[in-house]
């Protein structure tokens, strides 16, 4: 039903995986070079005087990844539900399962649009919730 999104999704995941793999190796080399340059410039006395174990915990250590994921999943689920109701109301005999190519193509378009639209709304709502929490923390 949603075959149109499978190919771009697979290509995107493979591209992201290759990018992250190259980024991992490049960042490792950059860190090693930075440590070597820092070791040449500083002596052990300078390092021990500049290091301190006073950690600043005033910044919030709360991450919003679960909030973003939850709102995204709620948005996707709501999008699928709304798309099903739209397809049942718009296309005759959609719920009976008759496989007509034209209806199937139109239904996949409706499903894709609703999933993307409501998924985006879910992410926007997660962003607004996060901004409200940050605003309350500052006050």
- Which residue is listed with tokens 């209806």? 103
Q: What confidence tens digit (pLDDT) does each residue in 52-105 have? A: 555 555 555 567 888 889 999 999 999 999 999 998 888 877 777 666 777 778
**CB-based contact 108:3 (threshold 8 Å):** yes
**pTM (2 d.p.):** 0.54
Instruction: State the number of CA atoms in the 13 A half-sphere of 136 facing the CB.
Output: 6
> Quick one: tokens of 87?
């397809």
Can you give the three-state secondary structure of 13-76, one letter per residue?
HHHHHHHHHHHHHHHHHHHHHHHHHHHHHCCHHHHHHHCCCCCCCCCCCCCCHHHHHHHHHHHH
The CA–CA distances, whole Å, from 127 to 31, 68, 121 equal 32, 8, 10
Instruction: State the number of CA atoms in the 13 A half-sphere of 49 facing the CB.
Output: 5
**CB-based contact 133:63 (threshold 8 Å):** no
Average pLDDT for 9-20:
92
Q: Quick check: 45 pLDDT over 80?
A: no
Q: Is 100 helix (H, G, I), strand (E, B) or coil?
A: coil
């Amino acid at each position: 039903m949603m075959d149109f999104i499978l190919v771009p999704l697979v290509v995107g995941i493979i591209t992201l995986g290759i990018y992250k793999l190259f980024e991992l190796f490049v960042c490792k080399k950059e860190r090693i070079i930075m440590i070597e340059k820092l070791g040449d410039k500083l002596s052990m006395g300078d390092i021990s005087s500049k290091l301190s174990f006073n950690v600043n915990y005033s910044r919030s250590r709360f991450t919003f990844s679960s909030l973003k994921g939850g709102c995204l999943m709620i948005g996707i689920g709501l999008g699928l539900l709304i798309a099903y109701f739209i397809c049942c109301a718009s296309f005759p005999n959609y719920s009976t399962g008759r496989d007509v190519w034209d209806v199937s193509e139109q239904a996949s378009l409706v499903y894709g649009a609703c999933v993307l639209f409501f998924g985006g709304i879910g992410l926007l709502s997660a962003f607004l919730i996060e901004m409200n929490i940050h605003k309350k923390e500052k006050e």
